[in-house]
Amino acid sequence: MRRLFPVTDLTPADDEGEWSLDDLAEAYAYPEQAGPWLRANMVSTLDGAAQHDGRSQPISCASDMRIFGTLRGLADAVVVGAETVRLEGYRPARAREAFAARRAAAGQGPAPAIAVVSGSLDLDFSLPLFVSPLVPTLVLTGAGAPPDRIVAARQAGAEVVIAGEGSRVDPARAVRELAERGFKRLLTEGGPRMLGQFVAAGVLDELCLTVSPMLTAGDAQRIAGGPSVAVPERFGLASLLEEAGFLFTRYRRI
């Protein structure tokens, strides 16, 4: 059974069916605003693990992946860390007919761009993510990145964006640089270390968190790692969906 807890004016789901993509697109629509909006999409077990055996798929479910696809279908760009690209085997985002009219009306391209954050540019630029995307992949790096790796990225067809000094990418600058290129509806899918940097920099506007009804123990990462904030930042619950014990939550900055 699928249930919806009406924290906001979300469209009810059919108890016997699945949430339609239109329902989900309305439920997860970006707010109307002039500046960029950065949301994160993550999954966590009951005991706080963001992955199992290095991947998030084992703690996910079909509806989680449906929401995952919806969030991608609404975004201008998907921001992801280099480690996640390597571990999860990232491929280019694809155009989906279900979102074509909605994206066209919003002035978006056929699919979101993938923006990879990497200070060292230790990436395999022969992968489809770089050489055959529907829209060019962006690589966000620091001004001190190895020049030969910058050349390799550009030769593969990626757009290199300098978003920091030295080898470090500054989270706030990364968001600004993407917004200046027209990518204002931003989605990050991790990994935990990169999400932690966005949280610490105070630039995360929204967290879409799936709570998986599983226990894994072990030493898996949390959804956000790295530097801590001086004072915990409060977010408010915007919506809540439930299916088979999985909770699909959405929190926004207060």
Measured distance CA(9)–CA(6) in Å, rounded: 6
Residue 55 gets which letter from DSSP? B
Question: Phi and psi of 28, rounded to 5°?
Answer: -105, 20
Q: Using an 8 Å Cβ cutoff, are 223 and 194 in contact?
A: no
Each residue's pLDDT expressed in tens, for the chain with a length of 254 residues? 555 554 444 444 445 567 889 999 999 999 988 899 999 999 999 999 988 887 788 899 999 999 999 999 999 999 999 988 888 788 889 999 999 999 999 999 999 999 999 999 999 999 999 998 899 999 999 999 999 999 999 999 999 999 999 989 999 999 999 999 999 999 998 889 999 999 999 999 999 999 999 999 888 889 999 888 889 999 999 999 999 999 999 999 99
pTM over 0.85: yes
Q: Torsion angle of alpha carbons 43, 52, 117, 170, nearest 10°?
A: 70
Residue 12: its pLDDT value, please?
43
pLDDT at residue 33, rounded to an integer: 85
The predicted pLDDT at position 153 comes to 96
Whole-angstrom Cα distance, residue 98 to residue 25?
10
Model confidence over 114-162: pLDDT tens digits? 999 999 999 999 999 999 889 999 999 999 999 999 999 999 999 999 9
The answer to whether 140 touches 116, Cβ cutoff 8 Å, is yes
Pairing of strands 2-5, 235-243: antiparallel
Rounded CA separation 147/114 (Å): 22
